[in-house]
Amino acid sequence: MRLLFFAAILLFTHFSFGKKKEIEFTFEQKVDSLVVLADSLLNSPTILGKIHSNENYKRILESILKDSLSIFYDFSRVPNLSVVTENRNHFRIYTWTVRVGNSEFDYFGFTQFQRKRQKGLFGPTIIENYIHELHNKSAKIGDDELKTLDASNWWGCVYYELVSSPKKKDKSYLIIGWDGFGYRSTKKIIETLKFNNKGVPTFGHKILRYDNNHGTKSPPKFVIKSRIIFEFSGKVTMSCSFNPQLNMVVFDHLAPSNPSLARLKFTYAPDFTYDGLTYSKKTWIYKRDLDVRNLEDVKATKWKPKDTKNRTIDTLIPMRN
């Protein structure tokens, strides 16, 4: 019995290694092309050069994603591509930036959703692989935190974290992203996401119970939102990430450098206190002034461009010049 057990382990290991090599070989040449194009998306001397490179980049990436095996591929060597994956590999979201000015960026992306179904009672299992291109319309959408959006009308950013609902039956998700909004300010967004059975994504589901008075000393004024948009000084960083120890999304509390500047978002910066979102009954509920005495818990939520372990390297989230 013990010999059979070890034989099974060896067979599974051999199969897994072989499958990994097959996946790598299938996409290697195309991914090499993405690596070459990635540099020009940020550093080409002309806008036309960046546009041309980006069209080729999109075409090659989409051709890779149309192969159902690509959902298992490790894209970490593509320097400007951020990939967030659902924990059971049901879907992925791919996003990247194109530099359009010294401190301005445009955003592009694809969603990849897979569903398995059996053909007939005893037939083979078929993998349905759905790909949708994301079109950035954030200039038109503005800071609308209530509107429902879709792939053709997307609040563009680079997503760096996906948060699944603690309840398996709840198929809604939070996705956290970065937007290098302009020279003076940066934005982060907590977006809400769902897919239908055909892999069509929709953004902006009213599952966020947020305090509209969060930046003041006034009593809480709770409203239901579809997304939360933070804007703050481009000279500082803001932490915003799911903390597994606290089982919450934890983020820096932002405040203006002077109370008289409250309307100027580019004056906002972390004030060394923390707020968060906790899950209850299919809703993420805002919690003000978290009592986070163990600083290691908070440090675990810190996200920085140089954090290569968590797939956020310098060229993924470009640093300002």
Contacts of 56 (CB under 8 A, 6+ apart): 33, 37
Most confident of 26-35, 128-137, 209-218: 128-137
Q: How confident is the model at residue 296 (pLDDT cuts 50, 70, 90)?
A: low
Output phi, psi for 72, to 5 deg.
-100, 0
Partner residues linked to 249 by β-bridges: 242, 277
Alpha-carbon gap, residue 216 to 71, rounded angstroms: 44
- The secondary structure of residue 309, as a DSSP letter, is G
Domain boundaries, the chain: 78-310
Strands ordered across the beta sheet of 91-99: 82-85, 91-99, 105-118, 125-135
Residue scoring higher pLDDT (168 or 255): 255
* Tokens standing for residue 162: 């996906």
Compute the distance between CA of residue 170 and CA of residue 291 in angstroms, rounded to an integer: 28
pLDDT digits (tens, 9 = 90+) for 257-282: 998 998 999 999 999 899 999 999 99
Q: Report the alpha-carbon distance of residue 105 to residue 240 in Å, rounded.
A: 20
Q: Which tokens go with 179? A: 């937007």
Burial class (CB in 10 A: 0-12, 13-18, 19+), 81: buried
Alpha-carbon gap, residue 275 to 240, rounded angstroms? 10
Residue type, 172: S
pLDDT tens by residue, 139-176: 999 999 999 999 999 999 999 999 999 988 899 999 99
Does the pLDDT of residue 316 top 50, yes or no?
no
pTM (two decimals): 0.84
Cα(65)–Cα(321) distance, integer angstroms: 33
Does the pLDDT of residue 217 top 70, yes or no? no
- Token digits of residue 292: 């986070």
- CA–CA separation, 321 and 319 (whole Å): 6
Cα angle, residue 75 at apex, residues 93 and 200 outer, rounded to 5°: 20
Residue 29's alpha-carbon distances to 34, 64, 167, 219, in angstroms, are 9, 10, 40, 58
DSSP string, 116-173: EEESSSSS-EEEEEEEEEEEB-HHHHTT-SS--EETTBB---EEEEEEE-SSTT---E
d(CA 150, CA 154): 6
- Please tell me what DSSP assigns to residue 77: T
Of 28, 57, 27, 60, the C-alpha closest to 41 is 57
Dihedral-angle region of residue 232 (phi above 0 means left; psi in -120 to 50 means alpha; beta otherwise): beta
- Cα–Cα distance, 128 to 29 (Å, whole number): 25
- Rounded Cα gap, residues 80 and 279, in angstroms: 32
Decide the pairing of beta strands 201-203 and 240-243.
Answer: unpaired
**pLDDT at 211 (0 to 100):** 86
* Distance between CA atoms of residues 141 and 149, nearest Å: 9
Q: What are 25-72's pLDDT values in tens digits?
A: 679 999 999 999 998 998 889 999 999 999 999 999 999 999 999 999
